[in-house]
Structure 1
Amino acid sequence: MKRLKYTILILAAAAITSCKKSFLEQEPYGNSIQSGTFYNTVDEATGATLASYKYIDFDDWWQTQWWKQVGGEAASDNEWIGVNGGQGTAVQAAHYTLNPENDRIEAHWIEIYKSIYLFNATMEGLQNAKIDDGAKQKLIAELKFLRAFQYFELVRNWGAVPLITKTLSPQQNDYTRTSAADVYSFLKQDLNSAIAILPSKSQYSTTDKFRVSKGAAQALLAKIDLYTENWAEAQSVSAQIIASGDYTLENSYGNIWQTTNYNGKESIFEIQFQYSTQYPNLGNVFPTTSMPGTEGGWGYFTPTSDLENAFKAQGDSVRLNWTIIRHHFPVIGDPANTSFDANPSQCKSARYNRKVYIPRSERTPNGRFSKDHIYLRLADVYLMNAEAAAMQQQSQQALQSLKAVRDRVGLTTNMNLSGWDLINAVRTERRLELALEGDRLYDIRRWKDQSGQPVINSIMGPNGSFVKYNTQQSKDPYETTNLNEPQNKGTSFVAGKHNLWPIPSKEIIASQGRITQNPGY
């Protein structure tokens, strides 16, 4: 199905978005989404399924897309909120002063459950569709992946969450939180059933490469296995993806994010965005929010000098330049921008995200861009494999996967690493390879140190390494002088509390206490 037709389906789905209310108070999306009799042909069933894809990220910009960057990166040691301390609710999350009344976290929770409602309703409609059973099961498998993708976002942010697997009437509101272990178990079951049905990426036509493939379901399953420390399964599934031949690493690291390389050979799952003059809020939020006003952007999500130092410590100039744009440096890949103006007085760090940057010659008039956003790619899978092998003390396998990623950017690999030296090398590689792509916070939350404590506990908090660097060691000329966003970011972090976000207060109230709060809030 062509991108244009997909865009039309997105716009149709966008038209039925409801206003922000408590998750328990949401209105149905519309009878056309729920009606099983609507899907009388394969085209109708396919159209409903493809319209569902946009609900991974559709939120009028301010809920799901925004929060994924705040949560995944700006609350870690990789990013500041950046824009001279603006957007106080986002700063609360990034600086660990967040409370359950925060409007952004509430909106993120609501938008995810709205999308899950849509996926459930569409699956129920497909069950009764008058179409070939093989086509029907394939579409349901795509929707199972989309639902699992959203539940993964819920469970890694909030832990135990309500597990809703069918459409509910307003009267059916007696559910409670399901344990994280049980949510993960359900997601694994759904993904395994999808893997058995979905085609490989190579079996899709060129115009359908964006659709969920067997490899996408496997990659999400492998990542869930990492989060649940099921190392053997994570190693096995990631190895299957690598061996499939469906994906290969891009020869050039920078080619991954080129606008001429959508759904490229390294991409496993990416969201397609389309610029529209009729619906101006459509489009990828990150190119606009993550660029300074001098480039037509809003100035948020600026990389830290701590992240830049991590690249320099490895001698990693390739990924540094393709990840961080620095003030008065040329922008790699854009010959029209030979001296980037980061607008330092309005930017915490005078650094910006190259991965979401769009060269000047390719920009659309109103700042809403069609740039796709990659969520799963092969280098991530190689590093999943390396981590899982390292955690099982299978050093040679871990080193082979680690080396594959480092070779691309011209870095040598010490093939004699083992034990914790190897584990830490893989962790460092994940930070550099995947920087600013939304995984950093979740990695440092789930990783354990040699004493069994979450790694984030030693990075954040009053004695955390990141806090000490910023408040005692850093001499960065921008960060240490642009203090509208406080330099002591992370000092308010409390171990055992801030390893999860608070459940939005409105959800607890609307559930009459059946949904309970996370510890410490």
Structure 2
Amino acid sequence: MIRYRMIKNGLKSCSVALVFALSSCSKDYLEVEPSGEPTIANFYKTPVDAEQALTAAYSPMREMYSRENFGAANANDLVFGDVGTDDILKGGARVNDGPHLYEKEIFSLTTSNSAVEKLWQVNYKGVLYANLVLENVPLIEFDDEERKKDIIAEAHFLRAYYYFDLVNTFGGVPIIDKPLEPGEYNVARSSTEETYNFIEEDLKKAITELPSRFDKGADYLGHADKGAALGLMMRVALYQNKMDQVKTYGEQLFELPYVLADYATIFEPSGEWNTGSIFEVNFSSNSDKLGTLIPRMIGARKKGGVGFSQIKEDLRNEFEPNDPRFDASFYNVPGGYGTEWYIRKYSIAPFSENPKPSVGGNGNSGNNIRIIRLSDAYLMYAEAIYDTDPTTAIGYVNKVRQRARGDNDASVVPDLDGSLSGQALLDAIYHERRVELAGEGFRYHDLIRTDRAEALLGPLGFKKGLHEIMPIPLSQIDLSQGVLTQNPGY
């Protein structure tokens, strides 16, 4: 069962979206207006209410990486997702440090794993908040009808985003398309295909209605736009092996004025919302609990971090000699448990220009989380067409490689041979995804969707037919009184 009753009742005190005062005062104490917390019954009346409700719908996306929810910040793909692969070692202080991660690393997830629980809870919180927007905002009168349309479209994007994380984690899940009333909370699981279809319908609406950020001002950054919806739709299609759709939506995305940015700057403060950034989750370190916990979780213990998600030798060896992306992606701090190699992309000083937090403690960093990048879209597109149009596929891979090479000699990260085709070309694309997106949480999903997990992760404990998805939290099955069914093998 989704904890819908508890979340719905808790919405009235959501600190992100409903921070406004209802109290007033009078000279005559007998005329004092009633005051208190807003409720659903007296909310959703004005465009300001609509904007606040939309902010609430974004908050679970941010919560998955934030200082405010330690458990969720341990459950996202940057920390939890690739542990156990040939790329990432759990790390930490010792072999069994972080039991939720240790279970993932040895392919022995339990139904009480805290990270799995957070993935369920936080994503369904996002679904609820998006549903509340979609249910109530259409009834609000706006002077600016375009903004009303945008708010509704952003909510469709957000609901798709949360469901995409759910389906990749658990397979088919309960589809909730509206706020539920008492007696409706126990909803059975839909199939994986049905869940994906629901996601696609939401994204189609978002693509049709959303503007491009290139037509908006800087204050729009952080909102989902047409490019974000197209990029997410490409990923949704790729994970289903719907290569024709990847091609179609990729071509629409490439009509927008994105340009690959210098790799060395992408994850620096100056690289936030760069010309090749399609979607990011915004964070700020100027107020307590508005920052991200990720740099602390994956930072070296000797430098104030926790030391999780260390880089394995297999991934380091995947890089070609002198590939500038190696130094831009990793750093080494000798000593301590693990490989001693860490992800530079979400680091703070002295390993990047991102400053150490000065407010809210050392787990309150301002690094934005990069969700969709143009190079990822180029490589998704190349993979979609490698067998039907190898020349064009090579061209898109070479765009990524040339940007990686920068001003270096052509022998550094050289262009792919124009005669490549078939499996050799596909392997080259796989290689490029692995090094270009190293440490960004895509490896496990890539191995699952391409059916390479058994061959590459089998020696580490992966079992085909079991570990492609995770267990449904036992607490949710208990709450549902058996309506929710467990994934086989757990």
Q: TM-score, normalised by structure 2?
A: 0.86
The reply to whether residue 101 of structure 1 matches residue 112 of structure 2 is yes
Distance 1:423 1:143 in 2: 36
Distance 2:111 2:79 in 1: 16
Offset from partner CA, 1:208-232 (integer Å, 9 cap, x none): 1221110100000111111111111
CA shift for structure 1 position 142: 0.6
Judged with a 3 Å threshold, the aligned counterparts in structure 2 of structure 1 residues 116 and 22 are, in CA distance, closer, same or farther, namely closer
Distance 2:139 2:454 in 1: 50
**Does structure 1 conserve the Cα–Cα contact (< 8 Å) formed by 2:241 and 2:449?**
no
**Does structure 2 conserve the Cα–Cα contact (< 8 Å) formed by 1:39 and 1:130?**
no
Distance 1:455 1:124 in 2: 42
For structure 2, the residue ranges without an aligned partner over 5 or more in a row are 13-17, 19-37, 406-412
CA shift for structure 1 position 316: 4.9
Q: Secondary structure at the match of 2:458?
A: coil
CA shift for structure 1 position 52: 2.5
**Does structure 1 conserve the Cα–Cα contact (< 8 Å) formed by 2:79 and 2:308?**
no
CA shift for structure 1 position 458: 0.4
**Does structure 1 conserve the Cα–Cα contact (< 8 Å) formed by 2:299 and 2:306?**
yes
1:340-379 to structure 2, matched below 5 A, reads 342-344=333-335, 346-360=336-350, 362-365=355-358, 366-367=361-362, 368-379=364-375
Tell me which residue corresponds to 1:53: 58
1:102-141 to structure 2, matched below 5 A, reads 102-132=113-143, 133-141=145-153
Give, as a single letter, the amino acid of the residue that structure 2 aligns with 1:254: A
The reply to whether residue 435 of structure 1 matches residue 438 of structure 2 is yes
Give, as a single letter, the amino acid of the residue that structure 1 aligns with 2:417: N
Tell me which residue corresponds to 2:162: 150
For structure 1, the residue ranges without an aligned partner over 5 or more in a row are 1-20, 327-341, 448-453, 463-489
Distance 1:445 1:509 in 2: 29
The reply to whether residue 173 of structure 1 matches residue 185 of structure 2 is yes
The reply to whether residue 260 of structure 1 matches residue 260 of structure 2 is no
Q: Secondary structure at the match of 1:352?
A: strand
Q: Find the partner of 1:80 among 71, 82, 89.
A: 89
CA shift for structure 1 position 506: 1.3
Q: Secondary structure at the match of 2:371?
A: strand
CA shift for structure 1 position 134: 3.1
Judged with a 3 Å threshold, the aligned counterparts in structure 2 of structure 1 residues 351 and 511 are, in CA distance, closer, same or farther, namely same
The reply to whether residue 43 of structure 1 matches residue 36 of structure 2 is no
Give, as a single letter, the amino acid of the residue that structure 1 aligns with 2:365: F
Offset from partner CA, 1:270-312 (integer Å, 9 cap, x none): 00112255x3x4311111111123222111111111110111x
Q: Find the partner of 1:242 among 231, 246, 254.
A: 254
**Does structure 2 conserve the Cα–Cα contact (< 8 Å) formed by 1:42 and 1:135?**
no
Distance 2:322 2:178 in 1: 48
The reply to whether residue 424 of structure 1 matches residue 427 of structure 2 is yes
The reply to whether residue 504 of structure 1 matches residue 485 of structure 2 is no
Give, as a single letter, the amino acid of the residue that structure 2 aligns with 1:319: R
Give, as a single letter, the amino acid of the residue that structure 2 aligns with 1:93: K
Tell me which residue corresponds to 2:32: none
Q: Secondary structure at the match of 2:142?
A: coil
CA shift for structure 1 position 169: 2.3
Instruction: Tell me how many residue pairs correspond in the alignment.
Output: 444
CA shift for structure 1 position 38: 2.9
Q: Secondary structure at the match of 2:342?
A: strand
Distance 1:351 1:184 in 2: 36
**Does structure 1 conserve the Cα–Cα contact (< 8 Å) formed by 2:280 and 2:369?**
yes
Tell me which residue corresponds to 2:328: 322
CA shift for structure 1 position 64: 3.2
The reply to whether residue 289 of structure 1 matches residue 294 of structure 2 is no
CA shift for structure 1 position 22: 6.4
Offset from partner CA, 1:229-273 (integer Å, 9 cap, x none): 11111012112212322x1100x2111111123211111110011
CA shift for structure 1 position 111: 1.3
Give, as a single letter, the amino acid of the residue that structure 2 aligns with 1:460: L
1:156-305 to structure 2, matched below 5 A, reads 156-245=168-257, 247-250=258-261, 252-277=262-287, 279=288, 281-305=289-313
Q: Which moved more, 1:102-111 or 1:26-35?
A: 26-35
Distance 1:47 1:174 in 2: 28
Structure 1 residue runs of 4 or more that deviate by more than 4 Å after TM superposition: none
Offset from partner CA, 1:407-448 (integer Å, 9 cap, x none): 11122212111011111111111111111111111010000x
Distance 1:310 1:144 in 2: 38
Tell me which residue corresponds to 1:6: none
Judged with a 3 Å threshold, the aligned counterparts in structure 2 of structure 1 residues 181 and 294 are, in CA distance, closer, same or farther, namely same
Distance 1:272 1:168 in 2: 30
The alignment yields a C-alpha RMSD, in angstroms, of 1.9
Q: Secondary structure at the match of 2:370?
A: strand
Judged with a 3 Å threshold, the aligned counterparts in structure 2 of structure 1 residues 63 and 150 are, in CA distance, closer, same or farther, namely farther
Give, as a single letter, the amino acid of the residue that structure 2 aligns with 1:303: I
Q: TM-score, normalised by structure 1?
A: 0.81
Identity %: 29
**Does structure 1 conserve the Cα–Cα contact (< 8 Å) formed by 2:7 and 2:125?**
no
Distance 2:172 2:129 in 1: 21
